[in-house]
Structure 1
């Protein structure tokens, strides 16, 4: 939601998505006692107000830096405004996040400051905006905002400015915190995270804010892809409160009919979202009655099986396609048995499911590419009826029922695998993504809700939407930080909230990027030999990249250099399960 303005909360609530209806009714109502409201918290240290004697440009700069604090409707920033302007300025009209480097300079043709009236231009680059639902949407573009400044009693104050907030990135990171709100995948199998941002203060108000976001539904990034068990009529029956046991009481009403699966999914949405604001246990009620009768108080651990970001098991290894063969890593990397490892096919790239039970590979044949699908690394494979001059590295859905690849940089194809191993080919509607140019790489997230793609050298994320009849499409496309990444070569999912990309930019060969593009962090690359050719990532696993000498591993932490795990293989394509 737009920070600090309660009025926009009501608007956000109108965006709630319809929940999935179930079978059984929720039990009838009974009274609930509110023990303590959880809407107040510690008072933050507000940014300082204007300093006497500050020149016009310095005053405007101080205003921008103070705008990061949303406390009391941006009271700190309003101190920089003239009296009437402070009352009229609508901080909730928009929320732009600037790159931390910005200038305040005299506007072209501005009156001389000696006249006690001048105009100052805020000049910088936007990295994106924050929506009323608390989501960050990336958009790098130049920003020029002119404000009028007047001098009264010897002190400059802003007398005229556009509505909305402009906040430097550093100030935004200080004043806001990220929170994962959780929604339901289309198959009602798991819940998936949706990244939002809340004011860091007061912290004890964050539980109530999280519930407002859940009731408002998924952000624009997942709109049409994820659903909710909280339909448009759902609301809080009373304010969230703390019980004597320390659990947070959340009492909902108008949630509609819920079957057993729906109850657990709803519990997961609420409990996992609140866990991100340090709520350890939730007493979750519907009309005063426990939602899960056998769990009066619910913790994150009670619902861990419903989180959708599937992680490869420790016993499912990373593999690599190198020299036309599939092999493992280790002190003495050995080729895998079967036609993919013994040279029966000229393997270019491959992927296994999260559990390692199924494998897909792209093989070269007479100047074209074939897709092969079969059992695990040691099982047989069958040629699928797909052929192209070029074919991207394959990628599996979390259930192992679909594998995706891109044909000739234009067509996103998928192969559906049934329980008996039967194969059926189909397409994904990716016209919106292909409109940006050739699709050079595409990876499904391990919860199956998004893709990360390299298109014409740009890094993009998008949602995977599915119709009732099972058709898939790529929607809600966002380009991430083009000015900071330059030309991107390949990308993979580190987690559901973070991707890793390799680029042609010398000072940022390997970069971690948040899924919404807010955060970009370059990794140390002091002993890699560019250009880099491939990258692989997975939760709690070392990064893998291919340079001109082979495959290198980087675990982060105290490790200060990459370690080579496969030499003499500049064409290698490493991959983790998923």
Structure 2
């Protein structure tokens, strides 16, 4: 997720691409550039040092059609602001109407190009090329990433200018297209932040809860300004139903504002239009907090934000004070890591410590009176939930010494352990989630405040049975492992809550989307940040692996966890200073940063709060 720093190095398309590629700086292999016929793919720039910037060169004099197409495609992968060089490959009319910001199509490899005519006649004045490839993802006009599959095909038409005799592109699809490697080099994933509409962190004051909305921006083309403009435009369509912005509707950068750059004290001044002028101090603090949360991983660093409108300061906020304005899951530091010992008793060790000897958890569930199969601890670490060893019953109890274990709040009628209750999960409101896998009545259930009659959560558009459930710290997203037709996949949906006229609550999981479309089986998963999860699973015909994924289905730019044999369960904290913890064939193991897995002790079912 961190921003790459800028550097400088030139990158030449068309004929110039051959000079640089064969000169061994930027291009991995030379794309052939015939006068006619087949034009090979332009997936030509492997991952590079983060300091490297790539710039295109304009079309050469008397360039043939294949060179024009090649040069244009290469220019799409450059760091040229507003694609000024790419537009030089277009006719004047096409340059005015082409809108590259509308979409980005990502292919497995760079687009291949084939002339529609086997051979271009010397006296021809027009020709078409078909661009082809296999889709990996798309990024829409809101900069929102979505996995995609299937073949890609589009047509590029060229015409020779009657006066200059130069070939130029006069028809092409809107947006841009490039290979996955060039996308990874050119684009950066950034979390924009908004506030949950009706979620307050359990055990805290009425601070709003910040929700991450990941978008992709061009890495080396003034990302600070582009991210600020994107934030002011509001959340992406998918997240919009469950979040709000502190910025008044219509807020934008003041007219004439150019690039935004923090000063030598890492203070960023953001001039806004008059729509922001009426915001009071509290709302202005929310606006500034949104900016600081959003810009925290970009370079150069921003440690303070000053908002201005009409030539006057509205407010200023430092990074240190931003977490007092709103809560974020990634700032929560749990006190303990919890798990079950070999006798299926509920125990814990201090989070992040090197301790290996656990202590019993205080409260009724920690007495050992009930053998447990799985556990969950509320985010304030005051209440625990546990599922009995046979998977039938769900128990909830206070983590205070001296209490007795009450009757189960929920019982499954499933015939086998695998057809009964999943491990439970607590959300930010203090509500408890669990799925009943009974084939005769599969249900996703919620117990408000961890008590009372279970509420069945509506799951329209979600096929199969829920095999695992984990609610994000932001309280508006839920991750589900769903099994259907021999496959199990990780699905992330939005939590939509309503209060009906008769006072009843309804909860619905909407917009469910796969976060691991390439996985055939998902074994375990956990939230590992504001918009990131860690997943154990395997692709078709592959071996089991552990990796990080974003909620939008993209792969974050972070190191992959070290390999772990036989991982059955995994847990992570939003605080990335705490290690991953897993249950594997070796028992409870943890992964300190930059090292290999280390055994902690014997046991099962490790969990951080949540």
* TM-score (normalised: structure 1): 0.77
Q: Cα 1:68–1:442, aligned 2, differ >3 Å: closer, same or farther?
A: farther
Q: Cα 1:270–1:316, aligned 2, differ >3 Å: closer, same or farther?
A: same
2:226 corresponds to which of 192, 206, 209: 209
Looking at structure 1, the residues matched to 524 and 451 of structure 2 have their Cα atoms a distance apart, in angstroms, of 28
The answer (yes or no) to whether the contact 1:280–1:300 under 8 Å persists in 2 is yes
Residue 569 of structure 2 is matched in structure 1 by: 534
- SS state of the match for residue 228, structure 2? helix
Q: Cα 1:275–1:555, aligned 2, differ >3 Å: closer, same or farther?
A: closer
Looking at structure 2, the residues matched to 379 and 220 of structure 1 have their Cα atoms a distance apart, in angstroms, of 49
Residue 112 of structure 2 is matched in structure 1 by: 104
CA deviation after TM superposition for structure 1 residue 513, in Å: 0.8
Looking at structure 2, the residues matched to 115 and 285 of structure 1 have their Cα atoms a distance apart, in angstroms, of 61
Residue 339 of structure 2 is matched in structure 1 by: 319
Residue 587 of structure 2 is matched in structure 1 by: 550
- SS state of the match for residue 185, structure 1? strand
Aligned length: 513
Looking at structure 2, the residues matched to 89 and 423 of structure 1 have their Cα atoms a distance apart, in angstroms, of 57
The answer to whether residue 452 in structure 2 is matched with residue 444 in structure 1 is: no
Looking at structure 2, the residues matched to 281 and 332 of structure 1 have their Cα atoms a distance apart, in angstroms, of 43
CA deviation after TM superposition for structure 1 residue 155, in Å: 9.5
Q: Cα 1:280–1:468, aligned 2, differ >3 Å: closer, same or farther?
A: farther
- SS state of the match for residue 425, structure 1? coil
Residue 54 of structure 1 is matched in structure 2 by: 33
Q: 1:138-157 residue pairs with structure 2 within 5 A?
A: 138-148=147-157
Residue 178 of structure 2 is matched in structure 1 by: 167
Q: Cα 1:428–1:228, aligned 2, differ >3 Å: closer, same or farther?
A: farther
Looking at structure 1, the residues matched to 591 and 178 of structure 2 have their Cα atoms a distance apart, in angstroms, of 34
Looking at structure 2, the residues matched to 302 and 311 of structure 1 have their Cα atoms a distance apart, in angstroms, of 13
CA deviation after TM superposition for structure 1 residue 45, in Å: 5.2
- SS state of the match for residue 64, structure 1? helix
CA deviation after TM superposition for structure 1 residue 357, in Å: 1.4
Residue 373 of structure 2 is matched in structure 1 by: 348
CA deviation after TM superposition for structure 1 residue 503, in Å: 0.5
2:306 corresponds to which of 279, 283, 291: 283
Looking at structure 1, the residues matched to 107 and 400 of structure 2 have their Cα atoms a distance apart, in angstroms, of 48
Looking at structure 1, the residues matched to 134 and 279 of structure 2 have their Cα atoms a distance apart, in angstroms, of 47
CA RMSD, 1 decimal: 3.6
1:486 corresponds to which of 520, 525, 528: 520
Residue 17 of structure 1 is matched in structure 2 by: none
Residue 537 of structure 2 is matched in structure 1 by: 503
The answer (yes or no) to whether the contact 2:534–2:548 under 8 Å persists in 1 is yes
Residue 220 of structure 1 is matched in structure 2 by: 237
Q: Cα 1:234–1:379, aligned 2, differ >3 Å: closer, same or farther?
A: farther
- SS state of the match for residue 198, structure 1? strand
- SS state of the match for residue 283, structure 2? helix
- SS state of the match for residue 254, structure 1? helix
| Unmatched runs of 5 consecutive residues or more in structure 2 | 17-31, 41-66, 199-206, 350-354, 415-419
- SS state of the match for residue 173, structure 1? helix
Looking at structure 1, the residues matched to 155 and 309 of structure 2 have their Cα atoms a distance apart, in angstroms, of 51
The answer to whether residue 404 in structure 2 is matched with residue 373 in structure 1 is: no
Looking at structure 1, the residues matched to 496 and 347 of structure 2 have their Cα atoms a distance apart, in angstroms, of 34
CA deviation after TM superposition for structure 1 residue 82, in Å: 6.6
Looking at structure 2, the residues matched to 310 and 42 of structure 1 have their Cα atoms a distance apart, in angstroms, of 27
The answer (yes or no) to whether the contact 1:384–1:423 under 8 Å persists in 2 is no
Looking at structure 2, the residues matched to 260 and 114 of structure 1 have their Cα atoms a distance apart, in angstroms, of 67
Residue 21 of structure 1 is matched in structure 2 by: none
Residue 423 of structure 2 is matched in structure 1 by: 393
Q: Cα 1:356–1:72, aligned 2, differ >3 Å: closer, same or farther?
A: closer
Looking at structure 2, the residues matched to 186 and 171 of structure 1 have their Cα atoms a distance apart, in angstroms, of 37
The answer (yes or no) to whether the contact 2:470–2:479 under 8 Å persists in 1 is yes
- SS state of the match for residue 554, structure 2? coil
CA deviation after TM superposition for structure 1 residue 237, in Å: 4.4
Looking at structure 1, the residues matched to 482 and 171 of structure 2 have their Cα atoms a distance apart, in angstroms, of 42
CA deviation after TM superposition for structure 1 residue 151, in Å: 9.1
- SS state of the match for residue 186, structure 1? strand
Looking at structure 2, the residues matched to 249 and 61 of structure 1 have their Cα atoms a distance apart, in angstroms, of 40
Looking at structure 2, the residues matched to 170 and 233 of structure 1 have their Cα atoms a distance apart, in angstroms, of 37
Q: 1:415-494 residue pairs with structure 2 within 5 A?
A: 415-417=447-449, 423-427=451-455, 429-432=457-460, 435-456=462-483, 457-467=488-498, 471-483=506-518, 485-494=519-528
Looking at structure 1, the residues matched to 6 and 527 of structure 2 have their Cα atoms a distance apart, in angstroms, of 37
